[in-house]
Amino acid sequence: MPGADGQVGHELLAALAPLGELIPATRAGVLADGGTCLRADLADADALRAALDDARADLIVNAAAHTGVDRAEDEPALADRVNHLAVGEIGAWAAAHGARVLHYSTDYVFDGSATCAYREDDATAPLGVYGRSKLAGEQALRASGASHLILRTAWVYAARGHNFLRTMLRLAAEREELRVVADQVGAPTPAHWIARASAQMLAQWQGEPGLYHLVAGGQASWHDFASAVIAGAHARGLIAHAPRVLPITSAHYPTRAQRPARSVLDCTRLKRAFGLELADWRTGLDEVLDQLARC
């Protein structure tokens, strides 16, 4: 399982354990708790091939990715290597060895111009290097001939790691006022929900290829999400005071990479195929904040 030290990967360690023997893998061969594991560096084709040969897995769960959306604009070759070429290599190995692949993709394959939620078969039009590399990875996995599941998710966060929620909590301790973009809309989705749903899907999956959207219910702007984070964290005593959260436009917060304005994903196909429907994003936020409050 490449990416075992990431947000989703860390949650998968527990969620997938009941399904059988798990071989976690990270780029450096070290887990978040300091323990050692298989080294699988997707930026290094030879190292990736060696890891696949060593593990001899019958199911490969790829939770690794180059996720630095802005950084990808400055290192497109690395983003393409990790998010595209390596995924194709995983697929080719799986096809040759009769293995299956579960791979995660992103809402950034869309340009965000739609007025309704995106379905899996809607036209893709990524705005930047990150989205293009992830879309190319999807295409490479499909072309590999491997039995695969591709799960597109979005706005992922957790109680650990680098994510929007943790950034808001850090800034809340430093500032009296937070200015947050209000004209980008999506569905904040906790990593542990993604991991849990992945395990439930794998328990049912018969091996047929499929592309599914997997995000929390409802929708929110980054400003909505930030406001809920601050209010919930203050109520739980995670922050000493609640700074004002003011809405701004994307034009007032320029970034290296352009983001989709509206990347809400339709998860109807997931519900029909697997009977899965994630709860509203606010419920997920409450669970993550409760987890932080217990620490």
Q: Which residues are catalytic?
A: 130
Give 34-98 as a DSSP string.
S-B-EE--TT-HHHHHHHHHHH--SEEEE------HHHHHH-HHHHHIIIIIHHHHHHHHHHHHT
Quick one: which of 236, 151, 258 has its CA closest to 200?
151
Q: What is the rounded (10 degree) CA torsion for 260, 263, 269, 275?
A: 140
Q: Can you tell me which residue has the tokens 């993604």?
A: 194
Other CB atoms within 10 Å distance of the CB of residue 100:
20
64/52 Cα distance (integer angstroms):
14
- Beta-bridge partners for 178: 245
Contact 110, 122 (CB under 8 A): yes
Helices marked H in 144-267 — which ranges? 164-172, 191-204, 222-235
Cα-Cα end-to-end distance for the chain: 27
- How crowded is the C-beta side of 290, counted as CA atoms within 13 Å? 7
At residue 256, φ and ψ (nearest 5 deg) are -60, -40
> In sequence order, which residues have a C-beta less than 8 Å from that of residue 17 and are 6 or more positions away?
none
The residue length of the chain stands at 295
